[in-house]
Amino acid sequence: MAIFVDQNTKVVVQGITGRDGGFHSSQMLAYGTDIVAGVTPGRGGQMFEDKVPVYNSVKQAVEEKGANTSVIFVPPFGAAGAIYEAADAGCKLIVCITEGVPTVDMVKVMPYLQERGVRLIGPNCPGLLAPGIAKLGILPTSIVKEGPVGLVSRSGTLTYEVVYQLSAAGLGQTTCLGIGGDPVIGTNFMDAIEAFNNDPLTEAFVMIGEIGGDAEEQAAAWIQENCKKPVVSFIAGQTAPPGKRMGHAGAIVSGGSGTAAEKKKALEAAGIPVAERPMDIVPALQEIWKR
């Protein structure tokens, strides 16, 4: 069992005829993801790889093909509009891969989605991969393996590294989820952790955080009070100088707040081991999770 997706997930790809959208749609199809439609305004009537119909609007894709999930590969200036369109058409899960979406746009998008009960993953994220079920985004399929470990991460690159190490150690995954590191995102640590905690097939999970904000501290408090499953964490940006943005727009330490040291202290106080290096995550998980 995975979180947020299942065998009934039917995908429409917004921007399917673009360079990135086309490449990753091919990869998603090859993995078995049920892509029922694509959307590119002005390209309606075309076929993608001779199997996926392309429509001019998400509404058409939902009405004619029953799409309930959107994966967005459109330029930053059009990403917010694409999210609005998918939500208005009835998609209940939206995965926005686009990097560089203006924060001011996302501030307006989130209340709109919340009012309609729509879950957003991203923006500026690698998406979600549920081994054996579906790939929604850009995570490489060659490194995943079905199993009982969940993973949620603010960092795309570290997601790949840790998934590879988990699989190499024989620890397959229920869901690999990259939530993105922008200041305003949809699904956050709390959402993912609660979902993993409620998933009967997820026996343990890994949380990869980074400097900036207080999402990790909030998650640590919730885990301490509510979660009985083994959890291991890692905080990226431990050597980052204060006031410098490190990769993600949300990864900035300001006024001593959001430091790696503060996050590590909060996590360890909640009984969550914090690995010093990415390569230490699997041994740390094996240490506390006696299988």
Each residue's pLDDT tens digit, 181-196 = 899 999 999 999 999 9
Distance, C-alpha 212 to centroid of its chain? 18
Measured CA to CA, the distance from residue 58 to residue 38 in angstroms comes to 8
Which tens digits make up the pLDDT trace of 104-120? 999 999 999 999 999 99
Q: What is the pLDDT of residue 251?
A: 45
Distance of CA 161 to the CA centre of its chain: 15
Q: Does residue 144 share a domain with residue 85?
A: no
Distance CA 58, CA 192 (A): 27
Residue 56 lies in a domain: yes
Q: Is 243 exposed, middle or buried (0-12, 13-18, 19+ CB in 10 A)?
A: exposed
CA pair distance 70, 180, nearest whole angstrom: 17
Supply the pLDDT for residue 290: 72
What are the pLDDT digits (tens) for 38-49? 999 999 999 999
Are 124 and 178 in contact, with CB atoms under 8 Å apart?
no
- How far is it, in rounded angstroms, from Cα 43 to Cα 288? 53
Q: Which two tokens stand for residue 171?
A: 């620890």
Mark whether 32 and 68 lie in a shared domain: yes
Host domain of residue 80: 11-121
Which pLDDT tens digit goes with each residue over 278-289? 999 999 999 998
Alpha helices in 92-236 (DSSP H): 103-116, 156-168, 189-198, 215-226
Give how far Cα 47 sits from Cα of 52, 54, 256, 288, Å. 5, 6, 53, 50
Pair 64, 174 in one domain: no
Q: What is the pLDDT of residues 126-151, one digit of tens each?
A: 999 999 999 999 999 999 999 999 99
Separation CA 85–CA 252 (nearest Å): 31
Query: How many CA atoms, within 13 angstroms, populate the side-chain half-sphere of residue 20?
Result: 14
**How far is it, in rounded angstroms, from Cα 18 to Cα 187?**
26
| CATH code, domain with 45 | 3.40.50.720
Note whether 79 and 105 are within 8 A (CB): yes
Within a domain: 93: yes
Of 248, 251, 273, 285, the catalytic one is 248
170 and 95, same domain (yes or no): no
Using the predicted structure, report yes or no on whether residue 247 has a pLDDT greater than 60: no
- pLDDT for 96 equals 98
- pLDDT band for 253, please (50, 70, 90 cuts): very low
97 and 189 inside one domain: no
Report the pLDDT value the prediction gives residue 241, as an integer from 0 to 100: 60
Q: Is 24 a catalytic residue?
A: no
Clarify whether residues 96 and 179 are in a common domain.
Answer: no
- Same domain (yes/no): 184, 245: yes
